[in-house]
Amino acid sequence: MKQLLLVFFGGGFGSMARFVLSKYFNNSADGIPYGTFLANIIGSLFIGVILGLALKNDTLSQNQTLLLATGFCGGFTTFSTFAYENHIFLKSGDFTSFFIYTIGSFTLGFAAVFLGMYLMKG
């Protein structure tokens, strides 16, 4: 039960953080969802750092990892919104934004996880 509550609270804080980020960065005139993009890249970096810390000499406990990685990062990042926003790009015929957003999200997301893990290695 304790582990469920840790994930619940972490996810709630992550979702609130994503909402705030999206509120301020998704209102651009060009329609690019920068808030979602930032949440996914920052969340990827965070999970790399968190899991890197967890692996490094047991720096984080299992409960801390659940709260931060599963809970916060799970609530902060969002694949469903990413998929929906890409649907909007495709529906409107904006293939350039679709490709830039998709390729950029995957490339930078993976790079951010690896960077986070690398930074915690030393």
pLDDT band at 122 (very low <50, low <70, confident <90, very high): low
Residue 24 CA to residue 28 CA, distance in Å, equals 9
Check residue 55 and give its pLDDT.
87
The DSSP output letter for 93 is T
- Asked if 38 and 25 touch (Cβ cutoff 8 Å), the reply is yes
Residue 108 CA to residue 111 CA, distance in Å, equals 5
Domain count, the chain: 1
Domain encompassing residue 43 = 2-23+32-121
Check residue 29 and give its pLDDT.
78
pLDDT band at 28 (very low <50, low <70, confident <90, very high): confident
Helix-, strand-, coil-residue percentages of the chain, each rounded to 5: 85, 0, 15
Check residue 50 and give its pLDDT.
95
Write the pLDDT tens digit of every residue in 38-82. Answer: 999 999 999 999 999 998 878 899 999 999 999 999 999 999 999
